Structure 1
């Protein structure tokens, strides 16, 4: 069942979204060569506790995971793209890091992700990250009232293909609001004009993710971390977006640097 949110409820989601954006910006600034992933995880835990927020990841137990997720961040490095478990790893020069975070404040949830290179960037990595960011903005722009859900999917896929990347269809965006994952599923590729009608009050997480040279994935033995099947680099970008009468409203924008 899809729950449309009132303007007031979207405003409450925006409170959570603002904090998500602020904390992701902090983590981006803290991540550097020589920093341990666990330091980022514990910084986020402290900040979430201070804010009185609740992590959507802690104790998350979907069918594909192995046991409950006992962290507040997904930290995915290089060929890892989704659900990366924070672990004892010190970031190295040139690592491509994706940070994904979802949390709730006063019963309303927001979800966002970003990717960036720590230290010296490889141009190929920057191109990959750019493709996910451009695809995200295209998907957001397509989330217009009166349109169709696959307009969003098609916009994302068109950008990915224009950059020369293929798209995996197993994981994508999703509805969001009172919980992290709600209906509908938002694919990262599709045909325009199809799918449910985009109605004001619909809130979705739009999240393109790409691998450099494959659309196939593998899982680590931990049951969580998803990697490119061929070991190529990966990137992931995400925002929580509300469809409003005047157009899409991004609820998780990060502060301007």
Structure 2
């Protein structure tokens, strides 16, 4: 069941989303060669707690950390650890916060120092595909109008969209209906209406779209070992157009 939010609920989600966006902006400043992914996680958790909110991910179905830190071929759900980031790595940081009972959720892929042209292009195309999708996040459109726009944009660069993991509705719970694929034919799925709130999150691979889950039961990697990038925001569908709640 898709839960339609009231204007007051969307205001609460704006506040949660703003905090998530500010947290990610802070992390973009600290990511550099030599930092560990555990240190990035600590900085995120402290920032969220300092702002009277709670990290969404910590303890969620047993997840051990406040952010997902996915490096290079890791697509999503990477565990923060003592891994030291190296010049040329890329890291996808997924972050969520609960404030006043409502969720914000967003992700960014960040270059570690100077990266290859291929890696930077992947980051840019993944971000661009999100904004192509959001152009279609309008009242009266169908859900897969977003999905199709993401896929067409990504594949025009020769990249692939991950099929096994998708975006989702969001509100009091981190994962609500509907699922939001990043692929598919337009004109399908539920009609978008005022008060829907979606986490739209393209996951894009340089290689094939096939992925597998590592033995820890969480971390998703590309089957062919190719680089992957992730870009996500929480988006409210409003009568006057989509509002991205997690952009600072």
Report the TM-score, using the length of structure 1 for normalisation: 0.95
Deviations 1:14-49 (A, max 9, x none): 000001001100001001111111111111111121
What is the Cα-based RMSD across aligned positions, in Å?
0.8
Quote the offset at 1:153 in angstroms: 0.4
Q: Give the Cα separation in 2 of the matches to 1:89 and 1:170.
A: 26
* 1:43 aligned partner: 43
**8 Å CA contact retained: 2:167, 2:200:** yes
Q: Give the Cα separation in 1 of the matches to 2:86 and 2:133.
A: 32
Deviations 1:37-67 (A, max 9, x none): 1111111111121111111111111xxxxxx
1:154 aligned to which of 136, 148, 153: 148
User: In structure 1, the residue corresponding to 2:160 is in which secondary structure?
Assistant: coil
Query: Please, which runs of 5 or more residues in structure 1 have no aligned partner?
Result: 62-67
Q: Give the Cα separation in 1 of the matches to 2:112 and 2:21.
A: 19
* 1:199 aligned partner: 193
Q: Give the Cα separation in 2 of the matches to 1:185 and 1:164.
A: 25
Deviations 1:53-112 (A, max 9, x none): 111111111xxxxxx112100000010010000011111000111100111100011100
* 1:247 aligned partner: 241
Report the TM-score, using the length of structure 2 for normalisation: 0.98
Q: How many residues are aligned here?
A: 248
**8 Å CA contact retained: 2:164, 2:211:** no
2:102 aligned to which of 89, 103, 108: 108
User: In structure 2, the residue corresponding to 1:28 is in which secondary structure?
Assistant: helix
Quote the offset at 1:218 in angstroms: 1.6
